[in-house]
Amino acid sequence: MKPIVIAGQAVEVVVTLPLFAISPLLRPWHTRWGATAEEVDCAMAGDGQLPRAQFQATRAISIAAPPSEVYQWILQVGFGRAGFYSYDLLDSLGHPSADRIVPELQAVHVGDWVPMSPTVNETTAFKVDSMEPPVSLVWRKPDSTWAWRLDPAGDGTRLVTRLRIVYDWRKRGSALLSVILIEFGDFAMMRRMLKGIRRRAEAAARGRRPLAQP
């Protein structure tokens, strides 16, 4: 990895540190960032799997690209895959997220792993729980679900994502770690991810490479 790339990634993280720090104070706002009241209230695939979830966030973004194209960017998400289109220094050990559709990463099936880190197991990685291309996709771990829905919006897409998490206090160490990571880190990372997907999908739809992340 080139030092200049790492330095740039470090600057991006430092600039965003205040948002990480105050995220718990913004919870009522950021857990529905970009989403309409209808999108927040609407049922999504995977909702019924964790009825005791203490954390639920529904976010959304409008993308000027059709659902079939946006869906491809989501399919290839994962550590060691295309990355997360977010803060690469934090979630991909500095390896830049893909800025193109990678054909070999598009063959995704129910039961496949979606790695979140170098270690892949039931507590550190999601599995594909259900999928209906190019409409919906649900990833699941024992304590969480991460759902995606792509609604046509004119010539573009309304991308809605919902994260639901159970804090299992019978396992105090892991529950405390989850609280810290989610309550402080989730929003900044997710907002960056949604914007990263939009930037890439729209650039691909225009037939050129993405511009620099704002």
Task: Check whether 46 has a pLDDT greater than 70.
Answer: yes
Superfamily of domain 3-205: START domain (3.30.530.20)
Query: 105-160 pLDDT, tens per residue?
Result: 999 999 999 999 999 999 899 999 999 999 999 999 999 999 999 999 999 999 99
The 3-state secondary structure of the chain reads CCHHHHHHHHHHHHHHHHHHHHHHHHHHHHCCCCCCHHHHHCCCCCHHHCCCCCEEEEEEEEECCCHHHHHHHHHCCECCCCECCCCHHHHCCCCCCCCCCCHHHCCCCCCCEEECCCCCCCCCEEEEEEEECCCEEEEEECCEEEEEEEEEECCEEEEEEEEEECCCCCCHHHHHHHHHHHHHHHHHHHHHHHHHHHHHHHHHHCCCCCCCCC
Mean pLDDT taken over the chain:
89
Model pTM?
0.88
pLDDT band with cut points at 50, 70 and 90 for residue 214: very low
